[in-house]
Structure 1
């Protein structure tokens, strides 16, 4: 079966890695910065639902140069899938914009065809099945939306959220890039997303979670009760509250960048303090993994750049940097 997996644009390679770990060798292809990964899976898709790098899953039944053709070619499977069901809805997406119709127009036309072919009733609020249709560069794809009412990005531990909480998929990708470690630190932890994602990936690790705001640290503490135990404390990165001689194997963080919130202290000073902290605390093979849209503030001195990845979320370009010891 052909699956369309969506993710944060720029992190398609993480989805490929995670899919390969779950299923072994697969036929997987994607274009970078589209947020869309296609995979051919022969086994049941239950394991896909456990992936932490995926946002939504669509089961693609057929594709064709016309919408009618894509639906017509998949009717036998559609009838099997909808057997015993009464209502349906259509989720549509116009991936490329060179045509004169909207996603809503596409959904309406697909709904009309399905209504005629299947005899099911349209129900937008709580349908029994949600079909998926998209238009992409002259091709119509038709299938079933596997995650129509929620996204795999939602995490059970996210009960108390910081106003600029990091997308857990991005946090998860950063944790994978950091790799296994005995002890990690996020000095700008917000509601704890990065540390809690890390503990879900490497449950034996020790997580240190600091933030300058007491209220924010309390939110991280509330979330940590669900996912795992982390050491949460209040600190100003300009005046670290860590014991002398402490060593960490990775610093994974999303420092402030002045769009949704202002840093306590000027941004440049805050970034300089972050790199100074990394130089002082990282073990001999330690890594600093950080994300920011403010490239001009990234100035590592004694650390060397291992990897730089551009992502795009909500129209905002950001860069994930992986630094190692020089």
Structure 2
């Protein structure tokens, strides 16, 4: 921090307090100004539009946390490649996390069989530009949108219109090292299949298309159902992370294809 830098204070307040978020920001701002006056002999400039430093205050009941916001005023989930916006678009930060959990840096062939606007594969290709990335979706409008997004991101990703039930007709068994997918929740975007049928079909096809020790990573609010089906197809559950996604508690499930024996 220097006397020539500008700053602002942002406050998140959770719970009941006598003071508002603005009040808390003003108090912390005054303390920072007093510190600057003692250290530099002058106040430092406040900027609410383009600050050099953002101090972040979180007030939860009686607990106060103060830190420096490293992301700035532009949220990390905003991506410039989004030429086409899917009606239930996946948060790119979640897509990025799913790719990292799938250890995409160590993969060569990657599939998203219900790719929507292509967010997962675009994030994966940004992490590892060398992957052979394939995106499929039953909706040709989404496929065209995914192509637009990949083009804007300057990435080479193959997108094709295909029903989930037919994806094993496009590839040899065991072709993929990883399948990373966000199946429809059935809220904003409906599937032609009911939820149990959809998950069973997805996991059955993943079993066929993944190689030995291949990774299946999916996002779902139906944790118990998915785990039951995964175990029926001899997948080993490697990791489960619980997150809040679109106001809904969801789970990122990472599973490993241990053998090629089907047990429906």
TM category, shorter? 0.7 to 0.9
Q: Which secondary structure state, in structure 2, belongs to the residue aligned with residue 251 of structure 1?
A: strand
2:26 maps to which residue?
Answer: 108
Aligned residues: CA RMSD? 2.6
Distance apart, 1:119 and its partner CA: 4.4
Structure 1: distance between partners of 2:239 and 2:137: 26
Structure 1: distance between partners of 2:110 and 2:52: 44
Instruction: Check conservation: 2:168, 2:208, Cα contact below 8 A.
Output: no
**Does structure 1 residue 182 correspond to structure 2 residue 108?**
yes
Instruction: Check conservation: 1:291, 1:321, Cα contact below 8 A.
Output: yes
Q: How many residues align?
A: 244
Q: Which secondary structure state, in structure 2, belongs to the residue aligned with residue 260 of structure 1?
A: coil
Distance apart, 1:129 and its partner CA: 4.6
Q: TM-score, normalised by structure 1?
A: 0.66
Runs (5+) with no aligned partner, structure 2? 259-264
Distance apart, 1:251 and its partner CA: 0.8
Q: TM-score, normalised by structure 2?
A: 0.80
Q: Which secondary structure state, in structure 1, belongs to the residue aligned with residue 56 of structure 2?
A: strand
Structure 1: distance between partners of 2:119 and 2:201: 22
Structure 1: distance between partners of 2:115 and 2:218: 12
Distance 1:115-1:183 versus aligned 2 partners, 3 A rule: same
2:261 maps to which residue?
Answer: none
Equivalent residues in 2 for 1:20-35 (5 A)? none
> Among 81, 84, 101, which residue is 2:4 paired with?
84
> Among 295, 299, 303, which residue is 2:223 paired with?
295
Distance 1:208-1:134 versus aligned 2 partners, 3 A rule: same
1:64 maps to which residue?
Answer: none
Q: Which secondary structure state, in structure 2, belongs to the residue aligned with residue 240 of structure 1?
A: helix
Structure 2: distance between partners of 1:284 and 1:88: 53
Instruction: Check conservation: 1:289, 1:321, Cα contact below 8 A.
Output: yes
2:166 maps to which residue?
Answer: 239
2:146 maps to which residue?
Answer: 220
Distance apart, 1:159 and its partner CA: 3.0
Runs (5+) with no aligned partner, structure 1? 1-76
Equivalent residues in 2 for 1:248-259 (5 A)? 248-259=176-187
> Among 90, 95, 111, which residue is 1:166 paired with?
90
Instruction: Check conservation: 1:115, 1:122, Cα contact below 8 A.
Output: no
Distance 1:125-1:201 versus aligned 2 partners, 3 A rule: closer
Structure 2: distance between partners of 1:318 and 1:242: 31
Distance 1:143-1:281 versus aligned 2 partners, 3 A rule: closer
Equivalent residues in 2 for 1:68-217 (5 A)? 77=1, 80=2, 83-85=3-5, 88-94=7-13, 96-97=14-15, 99-113=17-31, 119=43, 122-127=46-51, 129-136=53-60, 138-179=62-103, 180-217=106-143
